[in-house]
Amino acid sequence: MEIDELYQTIILDHSKRPRNFGELPPPATKGEGYNPSCGDEVVVFISQSPQGTIEQVRFTGQACAICTASTSLMTTQVKGKTVAEALGLKRTFIDFLTQDAIPATGLGNLQALAGVKKFPQRLKCATLGWHALEGALKTNVG
Amino acid sequence: MVVNSLAERYRADFPILDQKVNGFPLVYLDNAASTQHPNCVIDEIARYYREDHANVHRGIHALSSRSTKLYEDARARAARFLGAASADSIIFTRGTTEGINLVATSWGTAHLGPGDVILITEMEHHANLIPWQIAARRTGASLQYLAVHGDEGTIDWSDLERLLSQNRVRLLAFTHISNSLGCINPVRAICATARRHGVTTLVDAAQSAGHAPINVQELDCDFLVFSGHKCCGPTGIGILYGNPAVLDDMQPYQFGGEMISRVTYESADWKPGPHRFEAGTPHIAGAIGLNVAMDYLETIGRPAIQANDHHLGEVAYERLSRLPGIRILGPRRERAGLISFQLGATHAHDLVAYADQFGIALRGGHHCNQPLMRKLGLQATARASFYFYNTESEIDRLVEVLEAAIKYFGA
Ligand SMILES: Cc1ncc(COP(=O)(O)O)c(C=O)c1O
C-alpha cells in the first residue's frame, strides 16, 4: 500500500526509538521548530568543535512519526559536518522532497523519507527538525 | 428506531458520499469541520446562477428583484430556524468567526472598558477566544475563564452565579457544543443566570445549529452565531442573531456600500436593521444555498438529528473505549456526535494518515483548541465527528482500522 511508502520500516524504527534523543547543556546552542497546524514541537541542540564542525547533536520534542523519524535521521547525518555542509544537506533534502527528479545523491538513509513526495501535506512534518537545526546553527554561542 | 433510519432515508441525497477513496468506500467522519451538501442545496445554487443572479438591493430590474427576494427570504428562513421574532435580528456573515469578530468589535468597543470583565470558558474554539483577547487589550477590560475539569471536560456551572456577582462581567461568551470535547453546555440555564446579572451573552452555535433545535427567544441569549458549512450549507456564509434591544444601538462593523442611507463628502449615516452590518455585496448564492439547507434540516427535524447524534456519539464511545491504550475526551453520556481521542503513543497525524488510506476521513490536530489541549497535557487528538448520514457500521469500520493502526504503529 501507498501508506507503506510513507512509513517505511526505517521510519517506524526511528519514530519508536529516536536516536540522539535528549538535551545538551549550554554552551550548546538550540533551535526550535513549531508546526502550528498540529502543535508539534522539536528542539534541536548543537555543540560545535573549535574547528567549526558539529560535534554533538541531540533533540527533544513530541511529534508525529514522520517528524520524529526525520529529525532522528537528520541527527545521524549531520554529526561531524561543518555548518555549511549541514545547511547544504538541508537544502538538498528539501529539494529532494519538493522537486521532481532530484537525485538522492549524498542523502544516505534520508532517502527513506521519499514517500513524503506523495503526501505533500506531510512536508512540514518531514522538515520541521531541519528548520530547528538551522536555528541552532545560526544561534551565536555565548 | 430513529437510529440508522436517518441515514437510510437521507444518505442518498449526498452525492459526494458515494465514492471510493484510496480504493475503499468513503467514510466521512469530519463533519465537525464541515458537513456535506445534499443535492437540493447544490441544485439551487446552480439554478440561481443560471437563472436569477444579479446584485441585491440595487437594481430596479427583474433579476435584481429576484435575487433580492431570494436573499431576504433566506434571512426570514434563518429567523424561523433560530426562533427569532423578526428577520431584522438576522445578520449575514462569512461564518461563525466573522460573527464573533463583529460582536467583539462593534459591541465590544462601545460597552467594554477598564475594570470590565469578559467571561468565556476554557473550551472555546480560537474563534471565540482570540477576538476577546484583542477586545480586552483594546478596551482595557480583562478576560477571565470558566475552568474545564478533567478529560470529561466538565465546567462547574454552579460557580457562574458567584463569578457574575463578584466581578463586573459585561459579556459571557461560550460554546453550545464543544468541537473537541463533544459536551453540551446548558445554554438556557446559563443565559438565565447571566440575564439576572444583566450580563450580555453570546452563544457559539457552530456545532449545534445544524444538530439541535434552537430557539433564541427560549434560550434568551443576546447573540448567537453559526456557520452555514457546518449544517449542509455553503462555505463563506453564516448567521449572527442579535437581540433587537442590543443590536439597535450597535455601530457598524465595516463601511461601504449597502449599509449607508445618506452620504456626503463629509459624512454618512447608516441604514437601520441588519443591513447596517452588511457592507458591500454579500455572498448571495451562499445565503440562498443556506436557505435550502435550513429547509432541508427542518424537514428531517433537528430533534431527530439530535437523537441520532447522541446515539452515534454513545455507540462510538462504547466501541472505541474497548481499544487498548485509548484516551477519550468528553463525557460518556449526553454527548454530541463527535469523539476525540488519543491512541497510545501514536500521534494523531499518523492515525489520520493511516485511516485515510482506508477511505476514512478523520481530523487530527488541536482542533483550534490549543490552550485546552495544553491544559489536558495533549498536543493533538484524532477526532471522528458524525452527521445524520453516518451509520453504525461506519463506526465499526473505524474501530477495525484503528485496531490495525495500533498494530502498525505499536511498539
Ligand atoms: C465551536 C466552534 N466555533 C467556531 C468555529 C469556527 O467556525 P468557522 O471557521 O466556520 O468560522 C468552529 C469551527 O470549527 C467551531 O467548531
Task: Find the residue in A nearest to B371 (Cα).
Answer: A39
- Alpha carbon A82 to its chain centroid, in Å, reads 16
Worst-scoring range by mean pLDDT, A113-117, A128-132, B138-142?
A: A113-117
Torsions phi, psi of B147, nearest 5?
Answer: -75, 145
Model confidence pLDDT, tens digit, residues A1-29:
788 989 999 999 999 999 999 999 999 99
Our measurement of the distance from residue B233's CA atom to the centroid of its chain's CA atoms, rounded to an integer in Å, reads: 12
- Residue range B44-72: mean pLDDT, rounded: 95
Is any atom of ligand 1 closer than 6 Å to the C-beta of B125? Answer: yes
- The structural domains of chain B, ordered by start, are 2-30+302-409 (3.90.1150.10), 43-298 (3.40.640.10)
Determine how many CB atoms are found less than 10 A away from the CB of residue B110: 12
Across chain B, what does the average pLDDT equal?
95
Would you say the CB of residue B123 lies under 6 angstroms from ligand 1? no
Set out the domains of chain A in order of their start, with CATH numbers.
Answer: 3-138 (3.90.1010.10)
pLDDT tens readout for residues B284-334? 999 999 999 999 999 999 999 999 999 999 999 999 999 999 999 999 888
Residue B335 in grid coordinates: 454527548
- At residue B327, the pLDDT reads 96
Mean pLDDT across A29-52: 90
Residue B1 confidence (pLDDT): 46
Given this model, what pLDDT does residue B3 score? Answer: 53
**Which residue, B168, B169, B178, B185, is CA-closest to B219?**
B185
Q: Is the pLDDT of residue B204 over 60?
A: yes
Averaged over B343-358, what is the pLDDT?
Answer: 94
Q: How far is A3 from chain B (nearest CA, A)?
A: 7
pLDDT band (50, 70, 90) for residue A142: very low
- In Å, how far is A124's CA from the nearest CA of chain B? 12
In A1-142 the beta strands, taken as DSSP E runs, fall at: 29-35, 40-48, 54-62
- pLDDT at residue A140 is higher than 70: no
What's this model's pTM, rounded to 2 decimal places? 0.93
Q: In this predicted structure, what is the pLDDT of residue B4?
A: 59
**Angstrom distance (rounded) from CA A52 to CA A71:** 21
- Active-site pick, B183, B221, B232, B368: B368
User: ipTM value of the model?
Assistant: 0.85
Q: pLDDT tens digits, residue range B98-125?
A: 999 999 999 999 999 999 999 999 999 9
> Residues B339-358: what's their mean pLDDT?
94
pLDDT tens, residue by residue, B387-398 = 999 999 999 999
What is the Å distance from ligand 1's center to B176 Cα? Answer: 12
- Ligand 1 centroid to Cα of residue B206, in Å, is 5
- Which residues is B240 bridged to in the sheet? B91, B225
User: Among partner residues A12, A16, A64, which is closest to B349 by beta-carbon distance?
Assistant: A64
Angular region, A58: left φ>0, alpha ψ -120 to 50, beta rest:
beta
Contact A7 B408 (CB under 8 A): yes
Whole-number percent of chain B with pLDDT over 90: 88
Residues 6+ apart with CB under 8 A from A140: A29
Active site residue B231: no
**Whether the predicted pLDDT of B233 surpasses 50:** yes
Cβ atoms of residues B354 and B409 within 8 Å: yes
Q: Is B67 exposed, middle or buried (0-12, 13-18, 19+ CB in 10 A)?
A: buried
- CA–CA gap between residue B232 and residue B134 (Å, rounded): 31
CA pair distance B186, B104, nearest whole angstrom: 23
Closest residue to atom 7 of ligand 1, CA basis: B96
Q: Which residues does chain A have within 8 Å of residue B380's beta carbon, measured at their own beta carbons?
A: 38-40
Q: Is the pLDDT reported for residue A96 higher than 80?
A: yes
Three cell numbers written together for B95? 461564518
Each residue's pLDDT tens digit, B138-149: 999 999 999 999
Q: Which DSSP state fits A84?
A: H
**Interaxial angle between packed helices A123-138 and A65-78, expressed in degrees from 0 to 180 and rounded to the nearest 10:** 40
